Structures are given as structure tokens and as C-alpha cells.
Amino acid sequence: MADKNAMKNKSAMRNKSKVKNKDIAKNKAAGKKKYAVDKTMKQEAEKRTAGKMGKKKYAVDKTVKQEAEKRTIGKMEKKYAVTKAFTEKTDHGKSVKEKKVSGKNTSEKMITKKQNADMCQYAKKCGGCDYQGLSYEKQLKEKQEYVRKNVGEFCKVLPIIGMEHPYHYRNKVHAVVGLDKQKGIVTGTYAEGTHRLVPVDVCMIEDQKADSIIATLRELFASFKYVPYNEDTHRGFMRHILIRRGFSTKEMMVVLVTADNKFPSKNNFIKALLEQHPDITTVVQNINDYSTSMVLGKANKVLYGKGYIEDVLCGCRFRISPESFYQINPSQTEKLYKTAIRLGGITKNDVVIDAYCGIGTIGIALSSHAKKVIGVELNPQAVKDAQTNADLNHIKNIQFVNEDAGDFLVRYAEGGRADVVIMDPPRSGSTPEFLQSLLQIKPKRIVYISCNPETQVRDVRVLQKGGYKVEKCEGYDMFPHTFHIENVVLMTLK
């Protein structure tokens, strides 16, 4: 009996030990599982922390990089101010916003502590004249260096031709009409890169007679209760003033851009204007009823005079309508065109293509030297003006084609001949199609006029690879006190 009890006790102890061992094993397994879970949670937490730190570090690095880029761009703008600017070649088809430089505060950077005595009072607010505060000699050096850095790899860059009197040279003046804080009528320009109107009474680069007429118009607008147009509410009447002057003929055109085709009391208004400015030869109403920042609309009404003016350039007479492209600095333009004709080496046996011809100024000026001239222009109104100008000057050996210059040259290259090509494209430069067709025609000489040396160099490289050599480079300061430069490059077939 005792043995049986002993055996029962041993069996019970063994069972108890097994249960205990199972519990220990179970606890160990649970502990491992908990450790694994804790470890996983810890790793996930570390990943999240690392991710946050990484993002923060990336954000900091990105910010540092952006700030560095801003400083670099700022330095480039200060030295060369090469950004989107006043597009003189197509400014009647561009928005007002596009007429100003896209960089920020470029003009303020350009203004030094030692300002010129004749410093413009609007320089910091307007932003139109990037080189205000620099002597004219210094401005020319800046532009010379800019052209040299772009074109200097191809040939020697000759000294830039500046103006003797680099003020009041603009024969085309545009003013925005608006209200000041006291609801008084003001005229001026939009601050650089904005649509904030800066009232301007007198501009150092604009024609002085034009400024005088604009001052009179401000008074008359108030007297006749013409309300300035508001771009936000799309209400109001008077939007813009555009004045064009023939520096040679002294003819003067006033274009009043309105939001409505109705013109209240127009006869009395015109009479009052002419009483103060009898030298105005024509007044045109341009109707712009678009809710955009475009300056000119499509419709014109002649309120007084012929509806156009004329000017003389290189001995030829040119008719200028409100929309016509015509170089804004006539004295420098004449020097530029004479150089282009000289570099072209045109003879009586030569067929010349005047690409991107506008109203035909260059082609007409060189027509007496050539056998035949073909002018190509995309703008239909410009082509009509060009043909009128050819008739005005009794020129018979020139024809004008209303077509994209690239498309025309592709078609012309199939069998046409050209001894000299003079090209004067917009700031964006020429097109690959135009350049390839040019290489197919293989003219003996190419005269490339450009208001943007950077795109000019891009195109010159293509032509150089196609067998042309850069012979000469001459720059002309067409736009004093701004960073713009007009550059002429001569290329000859090797």
C-alpha cells in the first residue's frame, strides 16, 4: 500500500513537472514573440524617425541648394541681366506682362550707391532700365563683355557702337492708363514682373514730345470723365496710350486704346487735344475688348488724319501703322542696316532673301544693290505694309511672301537660289527647319542680325557645323540704359 502511494506521488510529481515545463516553454515562446514584436515596432519607429530626419535633411539641403541657385542667378542678372524682356520685334502681339523682365528686383541690384546725377527718379520702381546708375561708358563695357562671352569663341568681337546722346531715343511710347489711391487718373508702366502700375510723368529714354502729349491726355481724360479700364472688374473705357513719331519727318501718331468702340464726345476731345498739340498728324482709336493683358485689339478707327505716319530710313520712306514693327531707335537702326548691307557684300548679280522682314525696311534699303530681293514675313499686316513701302519707293525688284520663314525656305530650297541671306529673327532665334534649308541652299554669305546673342550663338553653331565660317561680329547699342543689344554676325561658306 505504501508502495502504491509512493508510485502515485512520483507520477503526480512527474505530471506536475511536465505541466511546469510546458508552462515554461509556453512563456519562453511568448517572450520570444513579444521580443520579436517589440523589435519590429522599434525598427519601424526607427525607420519613421530616420524618414522624418531624412526628409528634413533633404528639405534643408534642397533649400540650401535653391538659395545658392538664387544667389548665382542674382549675380548673373546683376552682371548681364539676361532674362525675358521687352520684345521689340513682336511687342504689338505680346502681353504687357511679357514686356517686362521676369527676374526680380534686377533694376535695384543694378543701382549703385554712386548714382549718376541724371539718375531716373522711377528707376527702382519701374525696372525698365536695368543699367540705371551706371555710366554710359560702363554700360557699353558690360554689353561688350556679354557679347564677347557668347560670340567670342568664333571671332574677334569689335567694339560696340554706342550713341552720342543716349537719351529720349524711343520713337514709340506706350503708357498704361489707371487710377491712383486718390482715384486720380495716372499713366505709366507696370512694375517689373508685375501688373502694378507705376505712375510715370517723364521718361529719360522716351521721346519728350510724346511725354508732353501723354500729360495733356491725362488732363483731358479727367475733364471728359473717361474712366480708366480695370482689368479685375473688366469695367472702364480708356486702357492704353500709344504714341509713334517719325524722327525724320516729325509726323506724330496718337493711338487711344479703348475697351468699347463708342467714343463719347470724340470730336470735342480731338479738338481740345489738337489745340494744345497741333503737330499731331493723326489720331487712331484702337478697340480692345478682350479680357487679357494684350495692348492692341484688332480693330482701328481713324479719328483724325490719315491713320498712319511716315518716316525716312537709309534714304527710303516707310509707312507706319499702329501695329507695324519699326525699330524704336532710328539713328542707331540706320547705322545697323548700313553695316548689314556692307557685310553682305551685295552685287547687282545677287539674289537676296530678307528673312523675318517685317515691313520690309532692310530689304527695301538694300534693293538698289541687288538683282532681286525676296522678303518673307509671317504677319499679314506687316506684309501689306511692306508692299506699300516698296510702291512708295518705286522699287520693282522686290517681292514679299506672307509665310513662316522656315516653311518658305524649306519649299524654296527645292530649286531656288540665294546668294545672300539676311536674317533678323525674334529673340527666340531661328528654327531647325529654317537652318537646315539654309544649309541646303548654301548662300555665299549669311548676315545674322539678332537682339539675343544667346540664341544667335545656338543657331551659328548649327551653321558652322554645316560648312560656314564666322568672319565678323559687330554690336550696336539700340537700347541704352537697358541690357538689350543688337548684334550682327557675318558668316561665309567655306
Pick from 113, 111, 89, 84: which is nearest to 99 by CA? 84
- Amino acid at residue number 186: V
C-alpha torsion sign, points 442, 458, 345, 356: positive
What residues are paired with 400 via a beta bridge?
A: 375
441 and 415 Cβ atoms separated by less than 8 Å: no
Identify the three-state secondary structure at position 91.
helix
Verify whether residue 314 is a known catalytic residue.
no
Cβ neighbours, 10 Å, residue 231:
15
- Among residues 344, 333, 335, 401, the alpha carbon closest in space to that of 367 is found at 344
Q: Which three cell numbers stand for residue 353?
A: 532673301
- CB of 488 closer than 8 Å to CB of 474: yes
* Nearby residues of 20 by Cβ (< 8 Å), 6 or more positions away: none
DSSP state of 131: T
Residue 477 has which C-alpha cell?
547699342
Query: Torsion over CA of 409, 414, 419 and 422, rounded to 10 degrees?
Result: 0
Q: Which among 120, 203, 316, 451 is annotated as catalytic? A: 451
| Residue 244, phi then psi, degrees to nearest 5 | -125, 140
Please choose, from the candidates 301, 314, 304, 316, the residue with its C-alpha nearest in 3D space to the C-alpha of residue 279: 304
d(CA 365, CA 315): 8
Provide the β-strand partners of residue 468.
Answer: 493
For residues 330 and 171, is the Cβ–Cβ distance under 8 A? yes
Residues annotated as part of the active site: 451
